[in-house]
Amino acid sequence: MFTGIVTDLGEVRRVIRGEGRETRFEISSQYDSSTIALGASIAHNGVCLTVVETGPGWHAIEASAETLSKTTLGRWVEGSRINLERALKVGDELGGHIVSGHVDGIATVIDIRPDNQSHRYTFETPEHLARFVAPKGSVALDGVSLTVNEVDGRRFGVNIIPHTQSVTTFGGYRPGDAVNMEIDMLARYVARLLERE
């Protein structure tokens, strides 16, 4: 489990694409790799992935063909910037919202506009996820916990403060870019309960 509070901005240093098997990514980060156990879970742009190897200043993860097809990981190349968050420990501060690291779909950046010192980002969600997005509700985009400002059909807006732009991948987004989206876990279960009535 995660909170959607990014703790490092990593970078893909190597990609090894397998034929008929997993794709391996080596990620450079500021994490002390001696504290990362093999088998540990780290969220990479919101995708919970297992660490399979570590080295000084880097760790490696592997992604299956299914993960590559359902997330933006298939677009990663050497030099891609990655939002990182280590798994939540019991007793840690829950600064964002509960995030599982299981991506529900891919949203698209539609518009970015200045809003005082911040920026207002408009995203479009896949049709099947639109009903889970509500004003003042939570959403995780590329692993970042955000509050939804407004909703208009499949489109919704979020406000990104300067700090978030500087310590996450949001500072590099452009209209047309794709991001991993995880809906709020509470919204998922409420919708499921309503389906049964």
Q: What is the CATH number of domain 105-196?
A: 2.40.30.20
Distance CA 4, CA 95 (A): 8
Q: What 3-state DSSP class applies to 73?
A: helix
Q: Alpha helix locations (H) across 33-138?
A: 65-70
Q: Give the Cα separation of 109 and 56 in Å (integer).
A: 35
Tokens representing 63 are: 């992604």
Q: Which CATH class is domain 8-86?
A: mainly beta
Residue 2 DSSP label: B
Express as a percent the part of the chain with pLDDT over 90: 82
Tell the burial category of 158 from Cβ atoms under 10 Å away from its Cβ (0-12, 13-18, 19+): buried
Rounded to whole angstroms, the Cα distance separating 19 from 9 reads: 29
Domain assignments of the chain as residue spans, ordered by start: 8-86, 105-196
pLDDT beyond 90 at 21: no
Q: Which residue in 96, 146, 95, 85 sits closest to 121, CA to CA?
A: 146
* Per-residue pLDDT reduced to its tens digit, 45-93: 999 999 999 999 999 999 999 999 999 999 999 999 999 999 987 667 7
Do 8-86 and 105-196 share a fold? Answer: yes
Give the tens place of pLDDT for each residue, 139-156. 999 999 999 999 999 999
Task: State the residue for tokens 């919970």.
Answer: 48
Give 167-189 pLDDT, tens digit per residue. Answer: 999 999 999 999 999 998 777 66
Residues 98 and 139: their CA atoms lie apart, in Å, by 10
Do residues 100 and 1 make contact, with C-beta atoms less than 8 angstroms apart? yes
This prediction's pTM: 0.92
